Amino acid sequence: MVLEIESTAHYTEVVTQAAGLPIVIDFFATWCGPCVMIKPIFETISHEYEGKAVFIKIDVDKCEELSAQFGIQAMPTFIVVKGGAPAATMKGANPEGLKKFVADNTK
């Protein structure tokens, strides 16, 4: 399951509730074609890692503060957060690359 973050406070709440699990973030925009294309892949991966990682998506237009905090400059950008800090970043809508990125960074 992929949870859509609505605010910085909501993000902080999700990080707190993650209980040490890695958090995989999809920074996206509704008008971004590659973001729309990769969305079902991200959702499929989230089901494969249920209980092993938390999957969230953040709309860069709705959550500008979080986008700035993470230095987002291109969409989609995927970030794995471990222990509250970014641990790995991937840019672009590459389905096979995303699967490998998640596999490598959620161990």
Phi, psi of 36 (to 5 degrees): -65, -40
Give yes or no: 63 in active site: no
Token digits for 82?
A: 């471990």
Token digits for 57?
A: 């998506």
Residues 23, 24, 25, 35: which is the catalytic one? 35
Give yes or no: 32 in active site: yes
Do residues 8 and 63 lie in contact, with contact meaning Cβ atoms separated by under 8 Å? Answer: yes
Residues 32, 45, 56, 90: which is the catalytic one? 32
Distance CA 21, CA 18 (A): 5
> 3-class DSSP state for residue 77?
strand
Nearest CA among 36, 46, 28, 40 for reference residue 91: 28
- Provide the annotated active-site residues: 32, 35
